[in-house]
Chain A
């Protein structure tokens, strides 16, 4: 396992590459609907219909790298939640579906928009969340990602939406 840097804003891991249009049905399938009340169990199946055995292959902090329109479909928050429980450090994609993107921030899973054509499976990435830089160490290549909207940074910094609301006794955006 590659150890994460001590600075929490810098995360290091290996890339697992997926294609375009990875739906929430592929991340958290409807056939496992009954496991939504048992998230650690559901997390063992994360993304298995897109990459069988995925949950066993990844190590904590590794990255899911998609193409265009990542997370389209159902509003199920279980999708980003079980990715986080399975140990995914961040999701990188060329673009995200709206609800998945918002859910990811709410549960505290970093979602980064960048040119993922420059990343292959198993590339080692070092990501500086604060500076917005992805260092592809395998390819010796630096990529930039778009900064999050201000409100989302506030929610993420508060540890997700539930903590934001508890801490501020309501919205403070």
Chain B
């Protein structure tokens, strides 16, 4: 049988041949949760009577959502995770290390893996050719205890990014465009598999951004085949040993094939309060902003901070606007520090905070006031997402965000990059 990437990976982990629609119990390679979902997973593990995790070195608890903790209740939840990890030998990625999905791709995810995470954006790891998907705390608890889960093999939608990308247009614009086209439930229960002449040449950072947001179309995962770009990335992380070639068979059965002509895509924004409420920046009226946030598992990587710094160099953030920058991991933070990127951003007026989720989840580090507008490079703009249901969130690429910080309103980056 000619298989999709998902069919191949899940068959291998089930020890039998499976096709889309089949249900199987499978082995999982990496299990993780974060400080919002981990404490409930720990209490479920105990409730089931387990006092061990099956595979400690690949069972990770990330403290990233409320890190450093802004409240005693959350500090106590962090203690629960640290104590459980120290009893079981599981790994804690603590305050300052960075966002779970970024640390996974830097240090854990290998092509061909099955990864389950107590966080919906676990699909980010699909960029390295893994089958990676988000689940709730009880599924994750079972994953920690048994290193197994049950899965339905998803149907796959193949997305080909074709032709060329225009200047000022980034991976974030491609994925926003795709979600606008297929809507917020256009891929529910399905895997997205990416290719096309543009898709095949995208950098790892770009692939991470695209895979990260596939859940915003409802997808179970968003997978890129592994290739030389994957191999180079793993080499840069000193993990070349875990490289495997993963690709779909010729003649694999797709539910649908979507061909996208990237040359027609402009810089995009998602308007409040849904991600599929997508429009080209050029079609917006003048939207004034109070806060700009550059960071997250979607767009907090070095290339994101770099393009923002290139745009903000020798410029100042507009008066009345605050720019918050949060590198997605410690390694990215250090690289941006070494390359002078943070210095440029700080000189422009940015408030740079320690690696983690930053204000994306509405817990700390930049909660919005009533009626305020934020343009963010994160993946979600739901009502209340950034801690206040009376505020308004727009989403864009880091380039659009950086220029908007200078202008004070949502601006088209082709003005400076075209």
B150 and A171 contact, CB distance less than 8 A: yes
Q: Is the CB of B36 within 8 A of A170?
A: no
In A7-53, the 8 Å CB interface with B consists of 21, 23, 25-26, 29-31, 33-38, 49
Q: Are B189 and A103 in contact, CB atoms less than 8 angstroms apart?
A: no
Q: How large is the interface on A (under 10, 10 to 19, 20 to 34, 35 or more residues)?
A: 35 or more
Chain B residues, CB < 8 A from A74: 36, 119-120
Distance to closest chain B CB from A123 (angstroms): 25
A134-160 near B? 1/0 per residue, CB < 8 Å: 000000000000000111000000001
A72 and B218 within 8 A (CB): yes
Q: Contacts A98-B188, A151-B23, A173-B150; is A35 near B73 (CB within 8 Å)?
A: yes
In angstroms, Cα B187 to Cα A69, docked, is 11
B387 contacts A by Cβ under 8 Å: yes
Cβ B383 vs Cβ A49 within 8 A: yes
Q: Kindly identify which residue among A31, A69, A149 contacts B367, using a CB–CB cutoff of 8 Å.
A: A31
With A97-B218, A98-B220, A162-B44 known to touch, is A75 a contact of B66 (CB < 8 Å)?
Answer: no
Q: Is the CB of A102 within 8 A of B135?
A: yes
A69 B188 Cβ-Cβ under 8 A: yes
Chain A, residue nearest B388 (CB) = A31
Q: Once bound together, how far apart are the Cα atoms of A167 and B213, in whole Å?
A: 37
A94 → chain B closest CB, angstroms: 10
Report chain B residues within 8 Å CB of A33.
Answer: 36, 65-66, 74, 361-363
A73 touches B36 (CB 8 A): no
Q: How far is the CA of A95 from the CA of B141 in the complex (A)?
A: 26
Nearest CB of A to B142, in Å = 6
Assess A162 versus B141: contact at CB under 8 Å? Given A29-B362, A33-B65, A75-B120: yes
Shortest distance from the beta carbon of B254 to any chain A beta carbon, whole Å: 19
List of A residues within 8 angstroms of B383 by Cβ: 23, 25-26, 49
Contacts of B117 in A (CB 8 A): 75
> Which chain B residues lie closer than 8 Å to A120 at the CB level?
none
B residues bordering A, Cβ < 8 Å?
Answer: 23, 25, 36-37, 39-40, 44, 47-49, 65-66, 71, 73-74, 76-77, 80, 117-120, 122, 134-139, 141-142, 145-146, 148, 150, 152, 184-185, 188-189, 218, 220, 274, 361-363, 367, 380, 382-389
A selection of 29 A-B contacts at a CB cut-off of 8 Å is A21-B184, A25-B362, A26-B384, A29-B389, A30-B384, A30-B387, A33-B66, A34-B363, A36-B36, A37-B80, A74-B36, A74-B119, A75-B122, A78-B40, A95-B185, A95-B188, A98-B188, A99-B134, A99-B136, A102-B135, A106-B136, A149-B23, A151-B23, A161-B142, A162-B44, A162-B138, A162-B142, A165-B145, A171-B148
